[in-house]
Amino acid sequence: MSETERTYRRWLDTDLRSFEVRIDESDLLISLSPEALAKGDVSHRDLAKRALASVRADLESYLRRDPGFAPALQPYDPLPDAPPIVCEMAAAARACGVGPMAAVAGAVAQHVGEALLAETPQVIVENGGDIFLYTSRPRTAAIFAGSSPLSGRLGLCISRTGQGIGLCTSSGTVGPSLSFGRADAAIVLAGSAALADAAATALGNRIQTEADIAPALEYLQTTPGVLGGAVIIGEHLGAWGEVELVRAAAAS
């Protein structure tokens, strides 16, 4: 995703303190409790970078050993000795009927976020629109939906606190991720970021026109661990489950 497409990061409005961590194509925006950063964010930035480097190394090493994993567009069984992130991706993808790389951004965000929870009571890790969060109060995430007139005008209020959850977005019109649909934004809230990522891909794949919104959301309800979802295509919107949509200021 280009710097232009990451303009949604300017919409961040939070009491948390934020910094970016980048390694190759991984580009994370990390937000921590202010008290965790009271002594400066260098150690937390280093911790986040080490966690990101470690999980990337595990994944890259595995992909070299199992060349069928990355290109798979259907559920794929990993090798018996696969590292945890690979197993999590494969399990999430199987639950949603998609290939395991559909869960990679969410899984990476969650691994980094969980590493940081040892040092902070609240953390949000955003990885290309895919988010892992563990917070002590409700949060609102602005919805970026490309050229849709609803983009930046709606937010999703997340009321679950004191637990790690995933909020992930797939798009057929924005960004480099593979989607077989035409949704400007297919958004899923789930009990893990890997599952939310895979489910968002599966949801987005089912959207070609606004007529597909209702049946796609009905399909989403059959996926265990998914808490809610929303779809935007052009000026059309649908939502289900633990998805509280609120008005948000348009992005400038």
- Here the tokens at position 127 are 């990885």
Mean pLDDT throughout 164-174? 89
What would the pLDDT profile of 64-99 be if each residue is shown by its tens digit? 999 999 999 999 999 999 999 999 999 999 999 999
Is the per-residue pLDDT at 129 higher than 90?
no
DSSP 3-state of 7? helix
Nearest Cα neighbor of 130 from 153, 104, 154 is 104
CB 165 within 8 A of CB 133: yes
Q: Residue 207 is part of a domain; what is its CATH number?
A: 3.10.520.10
Report how far apart, in Å, the C-alpha atoms of 7 and of each of 27, 143, 151, 241, 245 are: 13, 12, 12, 28, 21
How would you label 103-128 residue by residue, b for 16+ Cβ within 10 Å and e otherwise?
Answer: bbbbbbbbbbbbbbeeebebbbbbbb
Q: Is the pLDDT of residue 252 over 50?
A: no
Question: Would you say residue 16 lies in a domain?
Answer: yes
Instruction: Quote the tokens at residue 91.
Output: 């399990």
Count of structural domains within the chain: 1
Q: DSSP letter at 252? A: -
- Sequence-distant (6+) residues with CB within 8 A of 86 are 58, 59, 62, 69, 78, 100
Q: Name the one residue in this structure whose structure tokens are 């990061």.
A: 9
Query: Is residue 252 domain-resident?
Result: no
pLDDT in tens, 142-163: 888 888 888 888 888 899 999 9
> Taking 90 as the threshold, does the pLDDT of residue 176 lie above it?
no
Q: What domain range is 232 assigned to?
A: 4-247
The pLDDT score that the predictor gives to residue 37 is 63
| Cβ atoms of residues 32 and 16 within 8 Å | yes
pLDDT at residue 95, rounded to an integer = 97
Q: Is 62 helix (H, G, I), strand (E, B) or coil?
A: helix
Higher pLDDT, 89 or 252: 89
pLDDT of residue 150: 87
**Average pLDDT value for residue range 128-145:** 90
**Under 8 Å between Cβ of 207 and 183:** yes
Q: Band the pLDDT of 108: cuts 50, 70, 90.
A: very high
Instruction: Give the CB-side neighbour count of residue 127, counting CA atoms within 13 A.
Output: 30
Give yes or no for a contact between 139 and 163, defined as CB atoms under 8 angstroms apart.
no
pLDDT at 68: 97
Least confident of 43-47, 72-76, 206-210: 43-47
Which amino acid belongs to residue 59? L
For the chain, counts of helices (H) and of strands (E):
5, 11
pLDDT score at 14: 66
pLDDT of amino acid 122: 92
**CA angle, 150 as apex, 163 and 239 as ends, to 5°?**
50
Quote the pLDDT of residue 166.
96
The pLDDT of residue 248 is above 90: no
Residue 178 banded pLDDT, cuts 50, 70, 90 = low
- Provide the pLDDT for residue 3: 42
Identify the pLDDT of residue 5.
47
Inform me whether the pLDDT recorded for 63 exceeds 50: yes
Percent of the residues in the chain that have a pLDDT greater than 90, as a whole number: 66
Rounded average pLDDT over 186-195: 96
Note whether residue 178 is domain-resident: yes
